[in-house]
A and B are shown apart, each in its own frame.
Chain A
Amino acid sequence: MTQLKMTVNGKAASGEVEGRTLLVQFLRENLGMTGTHVGCDTSQCGACVVHVNGEAVKSCTMLAVEANGAEVATIEGQAAPDGTLNTIQQAFQDHHGLQCGFCTPGMVMSAAALLKDNPKPTVDDVRHYLDGNICRCTGYHNIVKAIMAASGQDVSAIAAE
Protein backbone atom coordinates (compact mmCIF):
# COMPACT_ATOMS: atom_id res chain seq x y z
CA MET A 1 0.00 0.00 0.00
CA THR A 2 1.10 3.55 -0.75
CA GLN A 3 0.23 6.64 1.22
CA LEU A 4 -1.04 9.39 -1.12
CA LYS A 5 -1.45 13.11 -0.63
CA MET A 6 -3.07 15.42 -3.11
CA THR A 7 -5.15 18.55 -3.26
CA VAL A 8 -8.74 17.93 -4.35
CA ASN A 9 -10.83 21.02 -5.12
CA GLY A 10 -8.41 23.09 -3.08
CA LYS A 11 -8.51 20.91 0.02
CA ALA A 12 -5.81 18.53 1.22
CA ALA A 13 -6.78 14.87 0.72
CA SER A 14 -4.89 11.73 1.63
CA GLY A 15 -5.37 7.99 1.74
CA GLU A 16 -3.79 4.60 1.32
CA VAL A 17 -4.00 2.86 -2.05
CA GLU A 18 -2.78 -0.21 -3.88
CA GLY A 19 -0.64 0.16 -7.00
CA ARG A 20 -3.61 -0.75 -9.18
CA THR A 21 -6.02 1.75 -7.60
CA LEU A 22 -7.35 4.09 -10.27
CA LEU A 23 -7.67 7.80 -9.63
CA VAL A 24 -11.46 7.53 -9.98
CA GLN A 25 -11.54 4.74 -7.38
CA PHE A 26 -9.52 6.88 -5.00
CA LEU A 27 -11.92 9.78 -5.47
CA ARG A 28 -15.07 7.70 -5.14
CA GLU A 29 -14.08 5.01 -2.65
CA ASN A 30 -11.40 6.58 -0.47
CA LEU A 31 -12.68 10.14 -0.46
CA GLY A 32 -16.38 9.34 -0.93
CA MET A 33 -16.64 11.87 -3.75
CA THR A 34 -19.05 10.06 -6.03
CA GLY A 35 -19.74 12.97 -8.36
CA THR A 36 -17.13 11.65 -10.79
CA HIS A 37 -18.78 8.75 -12.62
CA VAL A 38 -17.50 5.55 -14.16
CA GLY A 39 -19.41 4.92 -17.36
CA CYS A 40 -17.48 2.55 -19.55
CA ASP A 41 -14.27 1.95 -17.59
CA THR A 42 -12.48 1.66 -20.95
CA SER A 43 -11.62 5.37 -21.52
CA GLN A 44 -14.25 5.81 -24.22
CA CYS A 45 -17.10 7.67 -22.53
CA GLY A 46 -15.58 10.53 -20.55
CA ALA A 47 -17.99 10.41 -17.59
CA CYS A 48 -14.90 10.23 -15.36
CA VAL A 49 -13.13 13.36 -16.66
CA VAL A 50 -11.43 15.39 -13.92
CA HIS A 51 -8.62 17.93 -14.08
CA VAL A 52 -5.15 16.98 -12.88
CA ASN A 53 -2.84 19.98 -12.58
CA GLY A 54 -5.27 21.89 -14.77
CA GLU A 55 -5.53 19.31 -17.57
CA ALA A 56 -8.58 17.21 -18.39
CA VAL A 57 -7.87 13.51 -17.96
CA LYS A 58 -9.92 10.34 -17.79
CA SER A 59 -9.64 9.36 -14.14
CA CYS A 60 -10.53 5.73 -14.96
CA THR A 61 -7.34 5.54 -17.03
CA MET A 62 -4.84 7.01 -14.61
CA LEU A 63 -3.42 5.36 -11.52
CA ALA A 64 -4.08 7.12 -8.23
CA VAL A 65 -0.37 7.02 -7.38
CA GLU A 66 0.35 9.03 -10.53
CA ALA A 67 -1.71 11.88 -9.05
CA ASN A 68 0.33 11.92 -5.84
CA GLY A 69 1.07 15.55 -5.01
CA ALA A 70 -1.16 16.84 -7.81
CA GLU A 71 -3.92 19.44 -7.80
CA VAL A 72 -7.12 17.62 -8.74
CA ALA A 73 -10.40 19.33 -9.63
CA THR A 74 -13.68 17.40 -9.77
CA ILE A 75 -17.33 18.22 -10.36
CA GLU A 76 -17.82 18.67 -6.60
CA GLY A 77 -15.60 21.73 -6.69
CA GLN A 78 -17.43 23.50 -9.51
CA ALA A 79 -20.32 25.07 -7.63
CA ALA A 80 -19.74 27.74 -4.99
CA PRO A 81 -19.63 26.53 -1.35
CA ASP A 82 -23.23 27.77 -0.86
CA GLY A 83 -24.40 25.59 -3.75
CA THR A 84 -24.65 28.33 -6.36
CA LEU A 85 -23.94 26.69 -9.71
CA ASN A 86 -21.01 27.95 -11.75
CA THR A 87 -21.54 29.44 -15.21
CA ILE A 88 -21.22 26.13 -17.05
CA GLN A 89 -23.48 24.21 -14.65
CA GLN A 90 -26.09 26.98 -14.76
CA ALA A 91 -25.98 26.96 -18.56
CA PHE A 92 -26.55 23.18 -18.56
CA GLN A 93 -29.61 23.73 -16.39
CA ASP A 94 -30.91 26.69 -18.41
CA HIS A 95 -30.53 24.95 -21.77
CA HIS A 96 -31.56 21.44 -20.71
CA GLY A 97 -28.02 20.17 -21.28
CA LEU A 98 -28.69 17.03 -19.28
CA GLN A 99 -31.31 14.32 -19.37
CA CYS A 100 -30.38 11.36 -17.16
CA GLY A 101 -27.34 13.30 -15.96
CA PHE A 102 -24.90 10.40 -15.88
CA CYS A 103 -22.45 11.91 -18.37
CA THR A 104 -22.87 15.43 -16.98
CA PRO A 105 -19.91 15.53 -14.54
CA GLY A 106 -17.54 14.63 -17.39
CA MET A 107 -19.28 16.98 -19.80
CA VAL A 108 -18.98 19.90 -17.37
CA MET A 109 -15.32 19.16 -16.62
CA SER A 110 -14.49 18.81 -20.33
CA ALA A 111 -16.37 22.04 -21.05
CA ALA A 112 -14.39 23.81 -18.33
CA ALA A 113 -11.13 22.58 -19.88
CA LEU A 114 -12.23 23.71 -23.33
CA LEU A 115 -13.31 27.18 -22.23
CA LYS A 116 -10.06 27.69 -20.32
CA ASP A 117 -8.06 27.19 -23.55
CA ASN A 118 -10.62 28.55 -25.99
CA PRO A 119 -12.96 31.07 -24.28
CA LYS A 120 -15.06 31.75 -27.44
CA PRO A 121 -15.29 28.40 -29.25
CA THR A 122 -17.34 27.78 -32.38
CA VAL A 123 -20.01 25.08 -32.40
CA ASP A 124 -17.58 22.90 -34.34
CA ASP A 125 -14.85 23.50 -31.75
CA VAL A 126 -17.22 22.34 -29.00
CA ARG A 127 -18.35 19.25 -30.87
CA HIS A 128 -14.76 18.36 -31.73
CA TYR A 129 -13.60 18.87 -28.16
CA LEU A 130 -16.33 16.55 -26.88
CA ASP A 131 -15.03 13.67 -29.03
CA GLY A 132 -14.26 11.71 -25.89
CA ASN A 133 -17.49 12.44 -23.99
CA ILE A 134 -20.44 10.24 -24.80
CA CYS A 135 -24.05 11.04 -23.82
CA ARG A 136 -26.14 7.91 -24.14
CA CYS A 137 -29.34 9.97 -23.97
CA THR A 138 -27.88 11.54 -27.15
CA GLY A 139 -28.56 15.00 -25.78
CA TYR A 140 -25.68 16.54 -27.66
CA HIS A 141 -27.49 19.52 -29.22
CA ASN A 142 -28.38 21.01 -25.87
CA ILE A 143 -25.01 20.15 -24.36
CA VAL A 144 -23.30 22.05 -27.17
CA LYS A 145 -25.80 24.89 -26.80
CA ALA A 146 -25.18 25.07 -23.04
CA ILE A 147 -21.43 25.27 -23.54
CA MET A 148 -21.82 27.97 -26.18
CA ALA A 149 -24.06 29.90 -23.78
CA ALA A 150 -21.54 29.42 -20.97
CA SER A 151 -18.93 31.05 -23.21
CA GLY A 152 -21.14 34.15 -23.29
CA GLN A 153 -22.14 33.76 -26.94
CA ASP A 154 -25.61 34.23 -28.36
CA VAL A 155 -27.26 30.83 -28.73
CA SER A 156 -30.68 31.95 -29.95
CA ALA A 157 -29.86 30.70 -33.45
CA ILE A 158 -28.76 27.27 -32.20
CA ALA A 159 -31.91 25.19 -32.40
CA ALA A 160 -32.45 21.91 -30.63
CA GLU A 161 -32.96 19.74 -33.68
Chain B
Amino acid sequence: MYNFDVEMPTSIADAVKALGREEAQPMSGGQTLIPTLKARLAAPSVLVSLHSIPEMKGVCKNDAGDICIGGATTHATVAAEAVDYPALASLAARIGDPAVRNRGTIGGSVANNDPSACYPAGVLGSGATIVTNNREIAADDYFLGMFETALEEGEIVTEVKFPIPEVAHYEKHLQPASRFPLVAVFVAKFADGVRVAITGASENGVFRWTEAENALSGNFSASALDGLSLSGDKMISDLHGSGKYRAHLCGVMAKRAVAAAS
Protein backbone atom coordinates (compact mmCIF):
# COMPACT_ATOMS: atom_id res chain seq x y z
CA MET B 1 0.00 0.00 0.00
CA TYR B 2 1.10 3.56 -0.66
CA ASN B 3 0.81 5.66 2.45
CA PHE B 4 -2.03 8.10 3.12
CA ASP B 5 -3.43 10.26 5.89
CA VAL B 6 -6.51 8.94 7.66
CA GLU B 7 -9.34 11.17 8.83
CA MET B 8 -11.92 9.80 11.25
CA PRO B 9 -14.84 12.27 11.20
CA THR B 10 -17.69 11.73 13.65
CA SER B 11 -20.39 13.60 11.71
CA ILE B 12 -21.58 13.65 8.10
CA ALA B 13 -20.74 17.35 7.88
CA ASP B 14 -17.15 16.73 8.97
CA ALA B 15 -16.85 13.79 6.56
CA VAL B 16 -17.97 15.94 3.64
CA LYS B 17 -15.49 18.62 4.69
CA ALA B 18 -12.66 16.07 4.91
CA LEU B 19 -13.56 14.76 1.47
CA GLY B 20 -12.90 18.26 0.12
CA ARG B 21 -9.17 17.69 0.62
CA GLU B 22 -7.11 16.90 -2.46
CA GLU B 23 -7.25 13.27 -3.61
CA ALA B 24 -9.46 12.25 -0.71
CA GLN B 25 -11.25 8.91 -0.80
CA PRO B 26 -14.10 7.82 1.45
CA MET B 27 -13.85 4.40 3.08
CA SER B 28 -16.69 2.65 4.83
CA GLY B 29 -16.01 -0.91 6.05
CA GLY B 30 -12.95 -1.19 3.83
CA GLN B 31 -13.58 -4.84 2.96
CA THR B 32 -13.14 -4.05 -0.73
CA LEU B 33 -11.13 -0.85 -0.54
CA ILE B 34 -8.33 -2.12 1.72
CA PRO B 35 -7.55 -5.06 -0.64
CA THR B 36 -7.72 -2.55 -3.51
CA LEU B 37 -5.23 -0.26 -1.76
CA LYS B 38 -2.94 -3.23 -1.08
CA ALA B 39 -2.96 -4.02 -4.79
CA ARG B 40 -2.11 -0.36 -5.44
CA LEU B 41 -5.17 -0.05 -7.63
CA ALA B 42 -6.06 3.10 -5.69
CA ALA B 43 -3.69 5.68 -4.25
CA PRO B 44 -5.58 8.35 -2.31
CA SER B 45 -3.68 10.99 -0.34
CA VAL B 46 -6.34 11.07 2.33
CA LEU B 47 -8.61 8.25 3.41
CA VAL B 48 -11.79 9.45 5.11
CA SER B 49 -13.18 6.67 7.31
CA LEU B 50 -16.97 6.73 7.58
CA HIS B 51 -16.99 4.12 10.32
CA SER B 52 -17.20 6.45 13.32
CA ILE B 53 -20.27 8.47 12.34
CA PRO B 54 -23.16 7.53 14.68
CA GLU B 55 -25.78 9.31 12.54
CA MET B 56 -24.94 6.94 9.66
CA LYS B 57 -25.51 3.76 11.66
CA GLY B 58 -28.58 1.74 12.48
CA VAL B 59 -31.83 0.32 11.14
CA CYS B 60 -35.18 2.05 11.69
CA LYS B 61 -38.62 2.53 10.16
CA ASN B 62 -39.90 5.88 8.91
CA ASP B 63 -43.48 7.22 8.88
CA ALA B 64 -44.04 5.88 5.34
CA GLY B 65 -43.25 2.37 6.58
CA ASP B 66 -39.90 2.20 4.78
CA ILE B 67 -36.93 0.49 6.40
CA CYS B 68 -34.15 3.08 6.66
CA ILE B 69 -30.61 1.79 6.97
CA GLY B 70 -27.73 4.13 7.75
CA GLY B 71 -24.93 4.03 5.18
CA ALA B 72 -22.33 2.87 7.71
CA THR B 73 -24.48 0.02 9.04
CA THR B 74 -22.69 -3.31 8.84
CA HIS B 75 -24.08 -6.36 7.07
CA ALA B 76 -24.18 -8.15 10.45
CA THR B 77 -26.41 -5.43 11.89
CA VAL B 78 -28.75 -5.49 8.90
CA ALA B 79 -28.94 -9.29 9.13
CA ALA B 80 -29.88 -9.04 12.81
CA GLU B 81 -32.10 -5.95 12.80
CA ALA B 82 -33.91 -5.68 9.44
CA VAL B 83 -36.56 -8.05 10.81
CA ASP B 84 -39.39 -6.26 9.00
CA TYR B 85 -37.79 -7.12 5.65
CA PRO B 86 -36.66 -10.75 5.94
CA ALA B 87 -35.47 -11.06 2.32
CA LEU B 88 -33.11 -8.14 2.85
CA ALA B 89 -31.90 -9.46 6.22
CA SER B 90 -31.25 -12.81 4.56
CA LEU B 91 -29.28 -11.14 1.74
CA ALA B 92 -27.10 -9.35 4.30
CA ALA B 93 -26.59 -12.56 6.29
CA ARG B 94 -25.09 -14.28 3.22
CA ILE B 95 -22.53 -11.64 2.20
CA GLY B 96 -18.92 -12.83 2.54
CA ASP B 97 -18.26 -14.44 5.91
CA PRO B 98 -18.97 -13.44 9.54
CA ALA B 99 -15.81 -11.36 10.00
CA VAL B 100 -16.42 -9.50 6.73
CA ARG B 101 -20.05 -8.89 7.73
CA ASN B 102 -18.85 -7.30 10.98
CA ARG B 103 -16.98 -4.62 9.00
CA GLY B 104 -18.54 -4.27 5.54
CA THR B 105 -21.40 -1.78 5.17
CA ILE B 106 -24.41 -1.22 2.96
CA GLY B 107 -23.23 2.26 1.99
CA GLY B 108 -19.83 0.97 0.93
CA SER B 109 -21.34 -1.81 -1.15
CA VAL B 110 -23.82 0.48 -2.85
CA ALA B 111 -21.19 3.18 -3.50
CA ASN B 112 -18.74 0.67 -4.98
CA ASN B 113 -21.37 -1.05 -7.18
CA ASP B 114 -19.32 -4.16 -7.82
CA PRO B 115 -21.01 -5.99 -10.72
CA SER B 116 -21.22 -9.13 -8.54
CA ALA B 117 -22.12 -7.57 -5.19
CA CYS B 118 -25.27 -8.63 -3.34
CA TYR B 119 -26.65 -5.29 -2.14
CA PRO B 120 -27.11 -3.66 -5.57
CA ALA B 121 -29.59 -6.45 -6.41
CA GLY B 122 -31.49 -5.89 -3.15
CA VAL B 123 -31.52 -2.12 -3.61
CA LEU B 124 -32.58 -2.16 -7.28
CA GLY B 125 -34.96 -5.08 -6.80
CA SER B 126 -36.70 -3.26 -3.96
CA GLY B 127 -36.87 0.08 -5.77
CA ALA B 128 -35.06 1.60 -2.81
CA THR B 129 -33.97 5.21 -2.48
CA ILE B 130 -30.32 6.11 -1.97
CA VAL B 131 -29.93 9.07 0.35
CA THR B 132 -26.70 11.06 0.13
CA ASN B 133 -25.38 14.06 2.01
CA ASN B 134 -27.20 16.35 -0.43
CA ARG B 135 -30.02 14.52 -2.26
CA GLU B 136 -32.15 11.42 -2.71
CA ILE B 137 -31.65 9.19 -5.76
CA ALA B 138 -34.06 6.48 -6.93
CA ALA B 139 -32.34 3.12 -7.39
CA ASP B 140 -33.42 3.15 -11.07
CA ASP B 141 -31.35 6.32 -11.61
CA TYR B 142 -28.45 5.34 -9.38
CA PHE B 143 -26.68 2.27 -10.82
CA LEU B 144 -25.01 3.41 -14.04
CA GLY B 145 -22.72 0.50 -14.94
CA MET B 146 -19.87 -1.63 -13.65
CA PHE B 147 -18.45 0.24 -10.61
CA GLU B 148 -20.32 3.36 -11.77
CA THR B 149 -23.04 5.18 -9.86
CA ALA B 150 -24.78 8.56 -9.92
CA LEU B 151 -22.65 9.68 -6.95
CA GLU B 152 -20.67 12.87 -7.53
CA GLU B 153 -17.14 13.42 -6.29
CA GLY B 154 -17.18 13.74 -2.51
CA GLU B 155 -20.80 12.59 -2.23
CA ILE B 156 -21.49 9.83 0.30
CA VAL B 157 -24.34 7.37 0.82
CA THR B 158 -25.74 8.31 4.22
CA GLU B 159 -28.83 6.09 4.16
CA VAL B 160 -30.77 3.65 2.01
CA LYS B 161 -34.58 3.58 2.28
CA PHE B 162 -36.40 0.38 1.34
CA PRO B 163 -40.14 0.11 0.75
CA ILE B 164 -41.28 -3.27 2.08
CA PRO B 165 -42.76 -5.56 -0.58
CA GLU B 166 -45.59 -8.06 -0.06
CA VAL B 167 -43.15 -10.92 -0.64
CA ALA B 168 -39.53 -11.05 -1.76
CA HIS B 169 -36.60 -13.42 -2.00
CA TYR B 170 -32.90 -13.26 -2.84
CA GLU B 171 -31.59 -16.35 -4.60
CA LYS B 172 -27.79 -16.52 -4.75
CA HIS B 173 -25.71 -18.99 -6.70
CA LEU B 174 -22.55 -18.79 -4.64
CA GLN B 175 -19.09 -18.58 -6.16
CA PRO B 176 -17.51 -20.35 -3.18
CA ALA B 177 -13.98 -18.99 -3.47
CA SER B 178 -14.93 -15.31 -3.48
CA ARG B 179 -18.26 -15.77 -1.64
CA PHE B 180 -19.74 -13.29 -4.13
CA PRO B 181 -22.64 -14.54 -6.21
CA LEU B 182 -21.80 -16.06 -9.56
CA VAL B 183 -25.32 -14.93 -10.41
CA ALA B 184 -28.01 -13.84 -7.97
CA VAL B 185 -31.58 -12.65 -8.43
CA PHE B 186 -33.66 -10.47 -6.12
CA VAL B 187 -37.41 -10.69 -6.72
CA ALA B 188 -39.88 -8.41 -4.94
CA LYS B 189 -43.66 -8.34 -5.39
CA PHE B 190 -45.39 -5.06 -4.59
CA ALA B 191 -49.09 -4.20 -4.85
CA ASP B 192 -48.39 -2.35 -8.10
CA GLY B 193 -46.04 -4.84 -9.76
CA VAL B 194 -43.00 -7.07 -9.52
CA ARG B 195 -39.34 -6.09 -9.67
CA VAL B 196 -36.56 -8.48 -10.69
CA ALA B 197 -32.93 -7.39 -10.28
CA ILE B 198 -29.93 -9.47 -11.29
CA THR B 199 -26.33 -9.19 -10.10
CA GLY B 200 -23.19 -11.07 -11.08
CA ALA B 201 -24.25 -11.51 -14.68
CA SER B 202 -24.05 -8.38 -16.81
CA GLU B 203 -20.93 -6.52 -17.88
CA ASN B 204 -22.91 -3.38 -17.03
CA GLY B 205 -23.50 -4.44 -13.44
CA VAL B 206 -26.84 -4.93 -11.74
CA PHE B 207 -29.89 -4.68 -14.02
CA ARG B 208 -33.66 -5.21 -14.04
CA TRP B 209 -35.06 -8.04 -16.13
CA THR B 210 -38.13 -6.23 -17.40
CA GLU B 211 -39.54 -9.13 -19.45
CA ALA B 212 -39.58 -11.27 -16.32
CA GLU B 213 -41.14 -8.43 -14.32
CA ASN B 214 -43.96 -8.10 -16.86
CA ALA B 215 -44.63 -11.82 -16.89
CA LEU B 216 -44.60 -12.05 -13.09
CA SER B 217 -46.79 -8.99 -12.60
CA GLY B 218 -49.63 -10.89 -14.33
CA ASN B 219 -48.88 -14.28 -12.78
CA PHE B 220 -46.51 -14.48 -9.82
CA SER B 221 -45.33 -18.05 -10.24
CA ALA B 222 -42.13 -19.68 -11.45
CA SER B 223 -43.95 -21.07 -14.49
CA ALA B 224 -44.65 -17.52 -15.68
CA LEU B 225 -40.94 -17.38 -16.57
CA ASP B 226 -41.10 -20.46 -18.84
CA GLY B 227 -39.78 -19.59 -22.28
CA LEU B 228 -38.12 -16.36 -21.18
CA SER B 229 -34.37 -16.10 -21.60
CA LEU B 230 -31.58 -13.55 -21.65
CA SER B 231 -28.81 -13.31 -24.21
CA GLY B 232 -25.27 -14.18 -23.10
CA ASP B 233 -23.75 -11.50 -25.35
CA LYS B 234 -23.24 -8.75 -22.76
CA MET B 235 -22.77 -11.11 -19.84
CA ILE B 236 -19.57 -11.49 -17.80
CA SER B 237 -17.47 -14.34 -19.17
CA ASP B 238 -14.60 -15.64 -17.05
CA LEU B 239 -13.01 -18.86 -15.78
CA HIS B 240 -15.96 -19.40 -13.45
CA GLY B 241 -18.55 -19.40 -16.21
CA SER B 242 -19.26 -18.22 -19.74
CA GLY B 243 -21.70 -15.46 -20.56
CA LYS B 244 -24.07 -18.06 -21.93
CA TYR B 245 -23.92 -20.03 -18.68
CA ARG B 246 -24.59 -16.90 -16.64
CA ALA B 247 -27.54 -16.00 -18.88
CA HIS B 248 -28.97 -19.46 -18.27
CA LEU B 249 -28.40 -19.12 -14.52
CA CYS B 250 -30.38 -15.86 -14.50
CA GLY B 251 -33.49 -17.78 -15.54
CA VAL B 252 -32.89 -20.61 -13.08
CA MET B 253 -32.20 -18.29 -10.15
CA ALA B 254 -35.20 -16.10 -11.02
CA LYS B 255 -37.50 -19.12 -10.98
CA ARG B 256 -36.10 -20.33 -7.68
CA ALA B 257 -36.45 -16.84 -6.20
CA VAL B 258 -40.11 -16.65 -7.24
CA ALA B 259 -40.81 -20.16 -5.96
CA ALA B 260 -39.22 -19.33 -2.61
CA ALA B 261 -41.02 -15.98 -2.36
CA SER B 262 -44.53 -17.14 -3.23
- A→B interface (CB under 8 Å): 2, 18-20, 22, 41-44, 46, 49, 55-58, 61-63, 65-66, 68, 110, 113-114, 129, 131-133
- Asked whether any CB of chain A lies closer than 8 Å to the CB of B134, the reply is no
Interface centre among B1, B76, B99 (most CB of A within 10 A): B99
5 tightest A-B contacts by CB? A132-B97, A131-B97, A19-B6, A55-B102, A20-B1
Q: Known: A19-B6, A65-B6. Is A46-B99 also a contact (CB below 8 A)? A: yes
Query: Are B30 and A63 neighbours in the complex by a CB distance under 8 Å?
Result: yes
Beyond A61-B31, A66-B51, whether A132 also contacts B100 by CB under 8 A is yes
Given contacts A55-B76, A63-B30, A65-B6, contact A19 B98 (CB under 8 A): no
Query: Is residue B34 contacting chain A, with contact meaning CB distance below 8 A?
Result: yes
**How far is B177's CA from A73's CA once the two chains are assembled, in angstroms?**
28
For A40, give the chain B residue with the smallest CB separation.
Answer: B35
Number of interface residues of B (CB under 8 A): 26
List, in ascending order, chain B residues with CB within 8 A of A22's CB. Answer: 34
Closest to A42 in B: B35
Question: Within 8 Å CB of B38, what residues of A?
Answer: 41-42
Q: Whole-angstrom distance from the CB of B166 to the nearest CB of chain A? A: 29
- Within the assembled complex, what's the spacing in Å between the Cα atoms of A19 and B5? 5
Closest chain-B Cβ to A29's Cβ sits at a distance in Å of 14
Which residues of B are found within 8 Å of A62, using beta-carbon distances?
30, 34, 103
Interface of chain B residues 160 through 201 with chain A (CB within 8 A): 177, 179
Q: Which of A20, A114, A132 has the most CB of B within 10 A?
A: A20
- Asked whether, in the complex, the Cβ of A43 is within 8 Å of the Cβ of B31, the reply is yes
CB of A124 to closest CB in B, whole Å = 14
How far is A19 from B48 in the complex, measured between Cα atoms in Å?
Answer: 11
Residue of B nearest to A19 (CB): B6
CA distance A28 to B121 in the complex (A): 39
In the complex, what residues of A have CB within 8 A of residue B179's CB? 131-132
Distance in angstroms between the alpha carbons of A132 and B179 in the assembled complex:
9
CB pair A61 B98 closer than 8 Å: no
Residues of chain A within 8 A of B103, CB atoms compared: 57-58, 61-62
Complex contact A57–B99 (CB within 8 A): yes
Enumerate 7 A-B pairs (CB-CB under 8 Å) in ascending A order.
A43-B35, A56-B99, A63-B6, A66-B8, A113-B98, A131-B96, A132-B97
Contact B8 A20 (CB under 8 A): no
> With a CB–CB cut-off of 8 A, which chain A residues contact B31?
43, 61
Assess whether B3 is interfacial by the CB under 8 Å rule.
yes
How far is A76 from B76 in the complex, measured between Cα atoms in Å?
26
Contact with A along B1-24 (1 / 0, CB 8 A): 111111010000000000000000
Residue of B nearest to A18 (CB): B3
